[in-house]
Amino acid sequence: MAASTQTTSRILRVLNDGLGANVTDEDLRGVSRLDDILPLDSIAVLEFAIALESEFGIQFAGEQMKREFFNDFASLTKFLDAPPNPPQ
Amino acid sequence: MTSREISLARQQTGEPLFLRSPVRPWFAVKDLMWLAYLYPLRWLARVCSDRFWFGLQRLADPLYRWIHREPIRAAARRMAAGVPASPEAAAALAKLYIRNALQRGFDDLAFGCGRPDAGSHPPLITGLEHLERAAQLGRGVVTFSVHSFATRSAHRALRSMGYPVVVVRARTIPVSFGRFGQWALGGAYTRCLQNLAVESISNDDPNVTLEIARRLRAGWLVHIAPDSRVSATSHLVPFLGTERRISSGILDIARICRCPLLPLSAAYDGPRLRIGLLPPLELHPAPGAEAHTRANLPLLSAELERQIRANPAQWEMWVDL
Amino acid sequence: MIRRLLEIARRGPSNPAIITGDSTYSYPQLLSIAGNLQRQLRLQGAQPGSVVATALPIGLEAIAAFLACADLGAVFLPVNPSWRGAEIKWILDRIQPAVVLTSPDHAALWTNSGVSPDRLLPLDLEALLNNAPPAPLTGHPWPDDHPVVHLMSSGSTGRPKIVSRTNGGLLQAADAVASVTGMVPGRRVLASVPFHHGHGLSNNLVLPLSVGATLVLLPRFEPLLAAKAIEQHAVDLLWSSPVAYGLLADAEVPASALASLRSCFTGSAALPRKLAEAWKDRYGITIRNIYGSVETGIAAIQREDSVPAYCVGSLVPGIEAVILDRDAALPAGESGEVAIKGASVAAGYVGESELFPRLWNGFLRTGDLGRLDEQGRLYILGRVVPWINIGGLKVDPAEVQRVIASLDGVRECSVEAETNPRGLDVVAATIALEPGLTLSRANIIGHCRAHMAEYKIPRVIKFISELTTDVSGKRPKPWS
């Protein structure tokens, strides 16, 4: 659970620093889908994906390069908690 | 926001999709033309001799020009101001412009019916070394051009040479279709274009940019035409002596995916197809996305203008300027 | 500009130029301070053509800085002194000033934004007053097209822009306005609109000084302080905004305190009719409209006591106006987009293109909806293009505002275009909630999604305690 909180903070940092989103922990409370609090255009989703890769030292697989994967906040956090290819 | 969202939103709000009325007529000239194109002409293309085929093309030319006399006049006016050109030169260019549209139609028809030899002559390609060098970087290549009549043939030519080409394009039915065309021909039209183009990613797809990134990572050549007016990333820029919205999305993709942006131009030169590839745009490094767009959008729009002015009669969108 | 001021100083060496607090400075004294400051600017590296940013409130220092730059041939760039990191960065992304003049306590904001400390010149008024030996201004005759000031437009058409004004344009505009407003030597003007606003710089600084009038400085607009300054220094001319006139009326300033006022002008925003009537009733003064923008300078001024609704007066000498349909001029009486031509119209936007992109036969399209009557009077009816452009689609901010305001718990809402980190316009909502109520971003977005198309949903949402309007009549732009 602690790891999840830390992961959430790192995702928030990516959203805020990388995308200038201005989202807080408070905004995320009780929200399962990212587009409920932050409607992103398609370039922003790509930017978000690449920034997450850089932040977590991973590369998303082809089947993960879908908008829905990044919109589902709960499963994204869960995936990033234990990515299959952790940083070298 | 995807183009599909834009289209839906426009329909919801009653905003015109392009410049025309959102209310489609029951039957439009375009319906008749596509009805002929999709059925009897395709059937004819399969069975007739090459001689008959070229004869048909010549016969179709005056009819096609007569049907498009108003677009020819509109294109000539805009060419005169945008190229710029004298009224006489612009009128000649506008006629050539409509002829190129027809040639594209016959090229596509020939290709779609499995007789590519009846279409354009083998292409003349210059600058392949730039594409090779860009591909060797291993980050995929984004090629870009204006919407030119000959681009589709150019993609097919590159694919036949072994390049994995994917095109980003709209899959909407043109507003110039009437309600009959939309209902009766829409499906066949979409399937027909799908078969004519190389593999494509729809810009209606919510995953469009993620899919582009995925293809680039796999070493594909992704082609984008950024001169479409409706785009979630469009900026108003000075263009051809007026203003036009140009999409900066490919600059974002190049920045995020760190891939080269290669200008590609394609033109019909009589029956010959000419394809030109230039060295990648030398994008200015800039801190931050906005500064990157600001620094590089003029490069992009200048290249698009250059392509149009080099071959004014090849640009599809004069009537939409 | 400076040659004229040197002449004014020569003819009336004891005429007061500036009154600030209890101190009065004559024209020779003001020019001497400006000369001393110019010497410091030169030492700091400023030269003809370089940009000098000043982040200073209304005061002697800011005026001296403007004059020092004008004489040196440098470009004066007044910056709102309340701006912080993101705003300063916005400027620095577009312009790299050779020198930044600011108060010592603001210097860190600029260095933190990447300005090298050796380009900062923290101002010390005492040192300027006592600088020896004196360094007189030269009065160099800069050509008319020499840029003299860069001003930030308010961004009412979207994001703010930086507008370049020239030596000749600024001075010719001042002369034209002076000729129809009775601005003559000896008049006393309350300077209360900050100089980083076009209205403040043109009418509270350049115009009065260019004729030899006296400026009474009010660093911050407080209605009672303003009334006291007007009464104490017998101010007879006020150029301000509807907000300031409203504050004076609301503070129930007695008529006796404003007895010296003979002329009042208002710009930046439409003057509510009720406010104009309240002033007329209470103080016996007609507040006259002016119309213009940072890009056009003052284009029209109300000269009569009473004008029909929406009328902002007649064109200033040297200004031409046409009302445009899409690309044709309309006859008198018909409504269309107001387009302006004249010496006071700026040369273009800095860092964008040399010329304004919205020119029609040399006339600048203002984006304002208006008409001209048979007598040549201009009427402003609203904005032609109030939309926010999202990827080629137009969003009416009023519609988004209405939808958000219909949500229970929202007290006030303002919707504007904001530039996202990729340089694209997005819909941005600034929301004030009812006291004691809490709403989340998800509530706002969910409500918008239920009532509007996806592309209209605000991408930027800010909750604030209340929406404010500054003294210039502008709502401060949200920055991210």
**Structure tokens, C355:** 């010329």
pLDDT, position C420: 77
Q: Is C400 contained in some domain?
A: yes
pLDDT score at C465? 77
What pLDDT was estimated at residue C417? 84
What is the C-alpha separation between A41 and B234, in angstroms, rounded? 12
In a domain, C50, yes or no: no
pLDDT tens digits, one per residue of C320-347: 999 988 778 888 888 888 999 988 888 7
Q: What is the mean pLDDT of residues C365-384?
A: 85
Examine residue C480 and state whether it is found in any structural domain, yes or no.
Answer: no
C418 DSSP assignment:
E
Closest CB to B209: pick one of A39, A43, A62: A43
Helices (H) and strands (E) in chain C, counts: 14, 26
Q: Say which range, B110-114, B205-209, B264-268, C328-332, has the weakest mean pLDDT.
A: B110-114
Residue C132 confidence (pLDDT): 64
SS3 C303: coil
Question: Which residues 363-422 on chain C approach chain A with CB closer than 8 angstroms?
Answer: 420-422
Looking at residue C357, its pLDDT comes to 65
Using DSSP, state whether C110 is helix, strand or coil: helix
* Candidate from C440, C459, C462 with C-beta closest to A39: C459
A12 touches chain C (CB under 8 A): no
Q: Measure in Å the smallest separation between the Cα of B197 and chain A Cα atoms.
A: 24
Cα–Cα distance, B289 to B297 (Å, whole number): 12
- Both tokens of C119, joined, read 């380009």
Q: How confident is the model at residue C103 (pLDDT cuts 50, 70, 90)?
A: confident
Residue pair C471/C243 in contact (Cβ under 8 Å)? The answer is: yes
Least CB–CB distance from C441: residue in A19, A27, A43 = A27
Strand (E) positions, C115-224? 120-122, 147-152, 162-166, 188-191, 214-217
Give the tens place of pLDDT for each residue, B300-309.
Answer: 999 999 999 9
**pLDDT at residue B301, as a whole number:** 94
Model pLDDT, residue A67: 92
The residue-averaged pLDDT of B284-312 equals 91
Mean pLDDT along residues B276-292: 90
Output the pLDDT for position B9.
Answer: 39
Q: Which domain holds residue B262?
A: 3-320
- Has residue B314 got a pLDDT over 70? yes
Q: How many residues does chain A have?
A: 88
- Inspect the interface and report whether the beta carbons of A43 and C422 lie closer than 8 Å: yes
The CATH number assigned to the domain with range A2-81 reads 1.10.1200
> B156-184 burial, b for 16+ CB within 10 Å, e for fewer?
bbbbeeebbbbbbbbebbebbbbebbbeb
| In-domain check, residue C407 | yes
Residue with tokens 């590296």: C45
How far is residue B86 from each of residues B76, B82, B83, B243, measured CA to CA in Å?
A: 10, 11, 9, 21
Q: Please report, for residues B224, B261, B320, C258, C401, the alpha-carbon distance to residue C225 in angstroms, rounded to integers and kept in the order given.
A: 62, 61, 59, 12, 35
What is the C-alpha separation between A51 and C20, in angstroms, rounded?
A: 54
Nearest to A46 among B1, B2, B209 (CB): B209
Question: Nearest chain C Cα to A36, which residue?
Answer: C442
| Amino acid A74: pLDDT | 87
Where is pLDDT greater, at B223 or B46? B223
Q: Which of B10, B238, B288 sits opposite C357 (nearest CB)?
A: B238
Residue at token pair 């300054």: C229
Residue C64 belongs to a domain: no
Cβ of A43 within 8 Å of Cβ of B253? The answer is yes
String of b and e for C415-440 (b: at least 16 CB within 10 Å)? Answer: bbbbbbbbbbbbbbbbbbbeeeeebb
How many structural domains compose chain B? Answer: 1
Per-residue pLDDT, B71: 85
Indicate yes or no: CB of A22 within 8 angstroms of CB of C462: yes
Test C390 with B294 for CB contact under 8 angstroms.
no
Looking at every residue in chain C, the average pLDDT score rounds to 84
- Kindly report, residue by residue over A17-65, the tens digit of the pLDDT: 888 888 888 888 888 888 888 888 889 999 999 999 999 999 999 999 9
* pLDDT score recorded for residue B119: 52
pLDDT for the residue numbered C480: 30
Q: Which of A53-62, B272-281, C270-279, C330-339 shows the lowest per-residue confidence on average (mean pLDDT)?
A: C270-279
How confident is the model at residue C90, as a pLDDT?
A: 78
> Minimal Cα–Cα distance from C308 to chain B, Å?
36
The total of other beta-carbon atoms located within 10 Å of residue A57's CB is 11
Q: What is the DSSP string of A50-76?
A: HHHHHHHT----GGG-SHHHHHBHHHH
Pairwise CB contact (< 8 Å): A43 & C480: no
Scan residues 32-61 of A and list those with Cβ closer than 8 Å to C. 36-39, 43-44
Q: Give the DSSP per-residue string, B253-276.
A: HHHHHT--EEEEEEEEETTEEEEE
The answer to whether C85 contacts chain B (CB < 8 Å) is no
End-to-end Cα, chain B, rounded Å = 24
Predicted local distance difference test score (pLDDT) of residue B121 = 64
- Maximum mean pLDDT: which of B171-175, B207-211, C285-289, C453-457: B207-211
Antiparallel, parallel or unpaired: β C336-342 and C297-301: unpaired
Residues 6+ apart with CB under 8 A from C455: B1, B5, B6, B9, C390, C391, C393, C395
Looking at the predicted structure, is the pLDDT value of residue B229 above 70? no
Contact indicator for C267, C368 with CB cutoff of 8 Å: no
Average pLDDT over residues C288-311: 87
The whole-number average pLDDT for the span C181-210 is 89
8 A C-beta contact, residue B198 and residue B167: yes
Interface of B with C (CB under 8 A): 1, 5-6, 8-10, 12-13, 15, 229-236, 238, 243, 245, 248, 252, 288-291, 293-294
Looking only at the bridges linking them, the beta strands covering C237-240 and C263-266 are: parallel
Kindly report, residue by residue over C346-360, the tens digit of the pLDDT: 877 887 654 566 778
- CA of C359 vs chain B CAs: smallest distance (Å): 11
Residue C448 resides in a domain: yes
Q: Residue C381's CB: how many other CB atoms inside 10 A?
A: 15
Residue B253 has pLDDT above 80, yes or no: yes
Please state the rounded mean pLDDT for residues A55-83.
Answer: 90
CB contact under 8 A, A39 and C422: no
Query: What is the CATH number for C441?
Result: 3.30.300.30
How far apart CA C218 and CA C237 sit, in angstroms, is 14
Considering CB atoms only, which of B206, B218, B257 is closest to A42? B206
Q: Looking at residue C445, what is its pLDDT?
A: 92
Give the pLDDT confidence score for residue C160 in this predicted structure: 66
Mean pLDDT of all residues in B44-73: 84
Please write the tens of the pLDDT for every residue from C432-476.
888 888 888 889 999 998 887 778 889 889 888 765 554 444 544
Q: Is C389 on the interface with B (CB under 8 A)?
A: yes
C357 in reach of chain B (CB within 8 A): yes
Model confidence at C140, in pLDDT bands (50, 70, 90)?
Answer: confident
pLDDT in tens, C379-409: 987 777 667 877 666 787 878 888 898 899 8
Percent of chain C with pLDDT over 70: 91
Q: What pLDDT was estimated at residue B231? A: 72
Query: How far, in Å, CA of C49 to CA of B231, rounded?
Result: 39
Q: C396 is in which domain, residue-wise?
A: 388-464
Domain range annotation of chain A = 2-81
